[in-house]
Structure 1
């Protein structure tokens, strides 16, 4: 790791740390012979939102849905009704919704490093791991390959984008990533107004050069997910033997 990367893997003076996770039934250990999906939510969302995707795409696989470490809005008890479910919190992997340039490189490296440390500490080395993310989470699903490609079986980026990789040490595996031919599923909506189209096109082009890419875009879809997208994702997962295919 370069000094530049090492000095920018923190927020303030503290390193990012993943401390909240929602596991699938059985604590993520009901299907140990299948890959563990690592679910990464987007800006202003939470681990419950991204975990809900799993029931549409791979309900019989294990997953760990991670909560981003930066709190935008804390979880709040239901006012006047403490027995009712709390209002969900809102969280982020980056201090800004859409950092760019060198700031994005540093933010992506800090967040991906925190996720990679969590994987190292909580998932047995012999178990396959497949990061699946939306938006910021989609960027980080790919960023994990850019820092530690040996650890991840495949990656799924829904409406994601890429850090530029200009800051030394923030994407240390870029030069060797293509050698691993890691399957990546990358999709976005043609009506996305959050991520600029040139960023989406650039991400697809970069992934084509560095991974075993399957990419699709969807008419009428904005910065969101769709059932058509999930159907295509299920087929891709079957092709690469990542899920049972049972719904």
Structure 2
């Protein structure tokens, strides 16, 4: 191992890819799809969006759910499900809480970043306006902010659907844009139904499913473009934070 490995393979990219071993795994994807050797030029992970996203795909081959949230959390970001074959599912998600404190127990802040274990309960809160009809994928922190939040006693964070903005306790149809929560990840009702079915299928195949939530400090439109997703036509920047979910 070269003496410069620690510097060359320091944390870079959307998920702060770190270490020669992880770079080597990601290199399989970057060479295959972009003919780029990131072992020879590791700085591309930090400066080239396509390479950054491909390195994320490699990292999540066995982690499955990746949520890329705008750092400000005022608009939606993509939720992507991967396996070895590539992208299985993609949709819009919102990781916005009632305040910006991600670490406080019971504080209802934005969803923390980091890796989380997952557990799906298809019947949890079924039929409730705040959660929808398709259950919750519960998340428990394993790394980064998410682990700190979990150690602090923050619990109950999940991926779920529910009523949309402008239709509070009126409808579970996807009529408005995604509504903020108390720190969970909100997706549209029709998409939660699909995600729940996919999650169940992957578990039946013996998969161990992780979720990783990350901040993106650039223009989120670039990430949507890379995944060949249009912007959500209903979405717009959110102003004052809501105290309801």
TM-score (norm 1): 0.27
Q: Return the structure number with greater helix share.
A: 1
TM-score (norm: length of structure 2): 0.27
